[in-house]
């Protein structure tokens, strides 16, 4: 995936709900239009991040598995 993130948040080793809580706090501090790459290892985060994006109105641009970790690319839309 060729998405350039403006900020990276490494949530490796964290379990639900911590990755979503940290993602939410980080995105709130970012400027609209910026992209966050959140890295996680908890497989439960896959469904959680989709639900969070729908609920908050932020855009999940895509996900990528790399080196045994999931990379989520989130664009702040408001």
Is 11 an annotated catalytic residue?
no
Strand partners, 59: 75
Give the number of other Cβ atoms within 10 Å of residue 61's Cβ: 16
**Residue in 7, 14, 16, 69 annotated catalytic:** 16
Catalytic residue numbers read: 16
């Amino acid at each position: 995936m060729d998405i350039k993130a403006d900020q990276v948040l490494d949530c490796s080793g964290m379990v639900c709900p911590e990755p979503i809580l940290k993602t939410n706090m980080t995105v709130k501090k970012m400027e609209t239009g910026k992209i966050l790459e959140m890295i996680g290892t908890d497989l439960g985060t896959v469904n959680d991040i989709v639900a969070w994006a729908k609920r908050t109105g932020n855009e999940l641009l895509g996900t990528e598995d790399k080196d045994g970790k999931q990379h989520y690319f989130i664009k702040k839309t408001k």
